C-alpha cells in the first residue's frame, strides 16, 4: 500500500499502544473558560486513576484538590503552557529491551515556546526529541508496532513520500505506519478523532456516511487496517458532522475498560455508547465545551505510563 511505511525496526523496540493502562492522567488547570469542564473531568478520572494537575497556580490547584472526594488521588505540577492541548506535546512512550522509554515530540518552539518546553522541564530526565515534527494527537499507536497518522503530518514536515518518515519510525518503535486522509471538516486533522485502539485485537473507527469524502476515508481506513492486521476486529461507531462541525466522541480517555467520552451536547451518544457497552466497556460521558475546535478530552490531557503500566501489556 502506498500510504503505509513498513519500517521494520528491531523487535526489541516497540511503541506503546493507545490502550495502555495509564498510572495517571495529566489535566491542564488554570483560570480559563473551560476550567469548570476540566475540573469535572479531573474529578471523574480520579475515581479510576491518578490525576496530575498542570498549571502555573499551585494555590488554585490545591483549593480544587481539597474540594474533591478523593484528594489523595491528585498531584500538582507547576508549569506554564501556551494552550491547554497537552496531548500534542506529551512524551511518546515505547518499550525497548523490556524497559520503558520516552521520546518527546518535536515542536515548533517559535510558535508555542511554553508548550514545547513543558514536559522537557517537568520530567526528571529530558528524553530525546523525535526526528520529525509531530503533534502526538496525530499519532495513534496500535498493537505490535502499528501506528496511524493523517497525511497532514507528512505535509507539515515537507515530506513527499512516506519513506521520509522512516528515521522517526525506527526511533519510536513503529513497525507499520499507516497514513490516512484527514476528515476535511475536522479542524485538527488528527487521527485521535478518527480511530482508537481499544485492545490488541479491537479498533474503533468513526464510521461516517454523511459526506462522500468522509465515506471514502472511512472505507479506506477499515480496509487498510484489515490488510495490516487481519485478526483485528473493527468496531464501526456511527458518527456524523452536525451543523458543519465534526466533533468526535472517539476523542475519549481510556482507563482500562472505562471510557470517558466527550459530550458536546449536540447529538445523542447512544449510537456510539451502545456498541462499546456491548463490547464490554463502561462509557462515562463528560461535558466538553470544545465544539468546533477540533479536539476534546484526549487532546486536552496526557497519559502517564510507568514501567508497571507498560508491563500490563
Evaluate if residue 311 carries a pLDDT over 60: no
Instruction: Give the domain extent around 100.
Output: 4-311
Give pLDDT, residue 313: 47
Evaluate if residue 303 carries a pLDDT over 50: yes
Q: Which residue has the higher pLDDT, 241 or 293?
A: 241
Inter-residue contact 76 to 44 (CB < 8 Å):
no
- Mean pLDDT for the stretch of residues 256-269: 91
- In this structure, what CATH number is given to the domain that contains residue 54? 3.75.10.10
> How confident is the model over 83-104, as pLDDT tens digits?
889 999 899 999 999 999 999 9
Q: Cell 486522509 identifies what position? A: 181
Inter-residue contact 140 to 148 (CB < 8 Å):
yes
Number of domains within the chain? 1
pTM of the predicted protein model: 0.93
Averaged confidence pLDDT in the chain: 91
Rg of the chain's alpha carbons, rounded to an integer? 18
- Percent of the chain residues past pLDDT 90, beyond the cut: 76
- Percent of the chain residues past pLDDT 70, beyond the cut: 94
Give pLDDT, residue 307: 60
d(CA 151, CA 217): 12
Grid coordinates belonging to 10: 528491531
Q: Which residue has the higher pLDDT, 247 or 279?
A: 279
Evaluate if residue 312 carries a pLDDT over 80: no
Q: Within 13 Å and on the Cβ side, how many CA atoms surround 93?
A: 25
H-state helical runs in 107-191: 113-122, 152-156, 166-172
User: Interior CA angle at 72 toward 67 and 76, to 5°?
Assistant: 80
Banded pLDDT at 7 (limits 50, 70, 90): confident
> How confident is the model over 126-182, as pLDDT tens digits?
688 999 999 999 999 999 999 999 999 999 999 999 999 999 999 999 999 999 999
Amino acid at each position: 500500500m502506498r500510504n503505509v511505511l513498513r519500517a521494520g525496526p528491531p523487535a526489541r523496540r516497540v511503541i506503546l499502544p493507545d490502550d495502555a493502562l495509564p498510572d495517571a492522567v495529566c489535566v491542564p488547570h488554570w483560570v480559563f473558560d473551560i476550567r469548570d469542564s476540566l475540573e469535572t473531568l479531573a474529578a471523574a478520572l480520579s475515581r479510576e486513576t491518578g490525576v496530575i494537575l498542570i498549571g502555573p497556580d499551585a494555590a488554585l490547584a490545591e483549593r480544587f484538590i481539597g474540594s474533591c472526594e478523593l484528594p489523595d488521588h491528585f498531584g500538582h505540577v507547576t508549569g506554564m503552557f501556551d494552550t491547554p492541548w497537552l496531548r500534542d506535546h506529551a512524551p511518546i512512550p515505547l518499550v525497548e529491551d523490556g524497559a520503558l522509554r520516552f521520546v518527546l515530540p518535536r515542536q515548533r518552539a517559535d510558535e508555542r515556546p511554553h508548550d514545547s518546553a513543558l514536559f522537557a522541564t517537568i520530567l526528571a530526565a529530558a528524553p530525546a526529541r523525535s526526528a520529525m515534527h509531530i503533534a502526538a494527537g496525530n499519532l495513534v499507536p496500535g498493537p505490535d508496532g502499528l501506528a496511524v497518522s493523517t497525511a497532514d503530518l507528512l505535509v507539515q514536515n515537507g515530506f513527499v513520500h512516506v519513506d521520509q518518515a522512516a528515521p522517526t519510525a525506527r526511533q519510536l518503535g513503529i513497525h507499520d505506519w499507516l497514513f490516512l486522509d484527514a476528515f476535511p471538516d475536522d479542524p485538527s486533522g488528527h487521527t485521535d478523532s478518527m480511530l482508537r485502539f481499544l485492545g490488541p485485537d479491537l479498533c474503533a473507527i468513526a464510521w461516517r456516511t454523511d459526506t462522500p469524502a468522509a465515506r471514502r476515508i472511512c472505507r479506506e481506513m477499515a480496509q487498510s487496517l484489515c490488510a495490516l492486521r487481519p485478526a483485528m476486529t473493527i468496531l464501526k461507531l456511527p458518527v456524523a458532522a452536525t451543523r458543519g462541525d465534526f466533533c468526535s466522541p472517539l476523542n475519549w480517555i481510556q482507563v482500562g475498560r472505562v471510557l470517558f467520552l466527550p459530550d458536546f451536547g449536540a447529538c445523542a451518544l447512544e449510537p456510539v455508547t451502545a456498541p462499546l457497552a456491548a463490547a464490554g466497556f463502561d462509557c462515562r460521558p463528560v461535558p466538553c465545551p470544545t465544539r468546533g475546535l477540533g479536539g476534546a478530552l484526549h487532546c486536552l490531557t496526557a497519559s502517564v505510563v510507568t514501567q508497571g503500566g507498560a508491563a500490563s501489556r
